[in-house]
Structure 1
Amino acid sequence: MSFSEDFKRSLSAINEQTFVNSSLKAFEYQYRHGTIYRQYCDSLYKTPNNVKELYDIPFMPIEFFKNHAIKSGDWKETKVFKSSGTTRTGRSQHFVKNEHFYQEKSSEVFIQKFGDLKEMRIIALLPSYQEQGDSSLISMVDHLISMGNKDSGYFLNSNVRDLLRQPGKKIIIGVSYALLELASDKAEVVDTIVIETGGMKGRRKEIIRDELHNLLIESFDLTEIWSEYGMTELMSQAYGNKGLFELPLWAKCLIRDINDPFSYLPDGKSGGINIIDLANIDTCCFIETKDLGRATGKYFEVLGRFDNSDVRGCNLLI
């Protein structure tokens, strides 16, 4: 079995004590087998010879996914995920070696956070993503729906209101504008978890997350709204409420200094978000995003985006 397949099998066993060592192993593998990533590392004079600590590892700018097929190793993709492409700068592409592996890990994270799905009805309100047909979010939700009860599926607001009043556990996964449309109708929800995936997709004016959550909490008479943080270029997702996201143990958020992208900030300080996602072993595990945020312990917040960066993805953008 290859290193990457062995590594993927070990992901669920990674913990705080083994994370750094696993990250260094992933770096060395991707330096050796990832042409684009190696060229980037070489331009920074970073190699396995002088990368000895977690903070030595170079993070590849997320823009590289727009112009290159990012791969570690020689393999044929089974799927290409594409970003929503809401700007003139082109759509980001994530070449996926094994779509089933992506679905497996994303459902593992989801179940850890929200429990067994067998008795839950998954209600997806994602019309704009369905129209695309090549969204990582749709791939994930397709798999979650297959794991939910027989009445799970994709719905439109016009035929979901009656479902929400019925007994039984339910999870709504919805893009922001669809949830707001449902909330404006004062839909009654019973025994329901609401997860917003962010983004108005040009359908409504963008609003900050706190305002969105307050509107939904009041309309649905709930105590909390959950958010998902994910993007085309990542294999893993973070979930959180009250604006605090948590990644699985095989992933980590680091905050870089916006004036010096190779320096990192302590807890509570705001800067650029770097993500280590070890589930990305077939592409690149170390990604410099265009999101701004801050981290405290195992949680992180998303505060906005850099100027002139893409307004896209599965997170609510400010």
Structure 2
Amino acid sequence: MEPIDTQRIFSIRNTAQFEEVALAIFKYQYHQNGVYRKFCDFLGKSDRTVAQLVDVPFLPIEFFKSHHVVCGSTKPQAIFESSGTTQSQTSKHFVPDLSLYEQSFLNAFSLFYGPVEDYCILALLPSYLERQGSSLVYMVNNLVKRSNHPDSGFYLHNLEELHKKLSEVEQKGTKTLLIGVSFALLDLAEQFPMPLKNTIIMETGGMKGRRKELIREELHLILKKAFGVQTIHSEYGMTELLSQGYSHGNGIFQSPPWMKILIRDSEDPLSFQTEGKTGGINVIDLANLYSCSFIATQDLGKTLPYGSFEVLGRFDNSDIRGCNLMVL
């Protein structure tokens, strides 16, 4: 069974087109992804019984830690791996076609922020740079190169150098994006607070054990005060996805047209919540054509009007329902 034309994924313009492409991808992945098919069969679902989007089974994200979640046997061009301690098991996302990932993040960036060439991109991602296989580093490195700006680049722990660079681009009036992991942005805010008038600050989440966990509102309040900005932007992505949601402030995210958020009932993982009600975040990422496009994450959230959504935290292990479905 041949996969669908990838251009259909990135030319979606409405709900009807999304559902049509999503159902076609479900059929393809049911036949080509052995792990996903076994999971669907366990639930009594197949390409013959799934007729609408709400019928599609969502694979628990934990499968990426224990199984080889991929369609066919094509050798991967990249293996993205989640962060973790030496004792913990990490997720691995086998990516046979990197061009899909590149199309996804480039189209999404252009949709939410305009041409990447318009920006100087400064990346403060120490915990990601210190390990191999980060999908975030791959994305940001690609954006840095495509920005074609002489001041674009990565910073590890050299906060003083980053502070100097921020001062330079601010004086020039350069349109700048500072993208960073939360704990590193907090370090910068404490050591080198400064007013930023031409810079967008985007946090990617994660204290990675370096600092006490803060709720998003606390984090954003500290950063806004330190840098004199009205809003803090955010990126919602993960190793197991090839698409990202973006927030222009207040923790309210939007997805690109080929990505959709559904909220499952915390007590019944096979049913869904209505708009405004809290539950587990399920993601449909059509760019995940060669792995699995239908993923039940460990994040808590709710959907809001106009296709937006909010991320409220994470399930504790003791709160996850339906884990018996993962023992296949």
TM-score range (shorter-chain normalised) is over 0.9
Structure 1 runs (4+) greater than 3 angstroms displaced = 86-89
1:73 aligned partner? 72
Aligned-residue sequence identity (percent) comes to 46
2:268 aligned partner? 260
Residue ranges of structure 2 left out of the alignment (5+ in a row): 319-328
Which residue identity is paired with 1:74? Answer: S
Conserved 8 A contact 1:93-1:233: yes
User: Over aligned residue pairs, what C-alpha RMSD do you find?
Assistant: 1.4
Matches for 1:98-247 after TM superposition, within 5 Å? 98-148=97-147, 149-155=149-155, 156-165=158-167, 166=169, 167=172, 168-184=174-190, 185-240=192-247, 241-247=249-255
User: Is the counterpart of residue 277 in structure 1 residue 285 in structure 2?
Assistant: yes
Conserved 8 A contact 1:79-1:97: yes
Conserved 8 A contact 1:235-1:279: yes
Q: Measure, in 2, the Cα distance between the counterparts of 1:304 and 1:157.
A: 29
Which residue identity is paired with 2:128? Answer: Y
Aligned residues: 307
Which residue identity is paired with 1:63? Answer: E
Secondary structure in structure 2 of the residue aligned to 1:263: coil
Q: Measure, in 1, the Cα distance between the counterparts of 2:268 and 2:234.
A: 30
Secondary structure in structure 1 of the residue aligned to 2:116: coil
Secondary structure in structure 2 of the residue aligned to 1:94: strand
Secondary structure in structure 2 of the residue aligned to 1:279: coil
Which residue identity is paired with 1:249? Answer: P
Q: Measure, in 2, the Cα distance between the counterparts of 1:80 and 1:229.
A: 20
2:37 aligned partner? 38
Q: Measure, in 2, the Cα distance between the counterparts of 1:221 and 1:107.
A: 29
Secondary structure in structure 1 of the residue aligned to 2:136: helix
User: Is the counterpart of residue 12 in structure 1 residue 18 in structure 2?
Assistant: no
Deviations 1:219-263 (A, max 9, x none): 100010001100000000000121111111011000000111110
Comparing 273-282 with 182-191, which one deviates more in the overlay? 182-191
Residue ranges of structure 1 left out of the alignment (5+ in a row): 310-318
Conserved 8 A contact 1:164-1:190: no
Compute the TM-score of the two structures, normalised by the length of structure 2. 0.90
1:301 aligned partner? 310
Conserved 8 A contact 2:105-2:244: yes
Comparing 103-112 with 141-150, which one deviates more in the overlay? 103-112
Q: Measure, in 1, the Cα distance between the counterparts of 2:87 and 2:296.
A: 21
Compute the TM-score of the two structures, normalised by the length of structure 1. 0.93
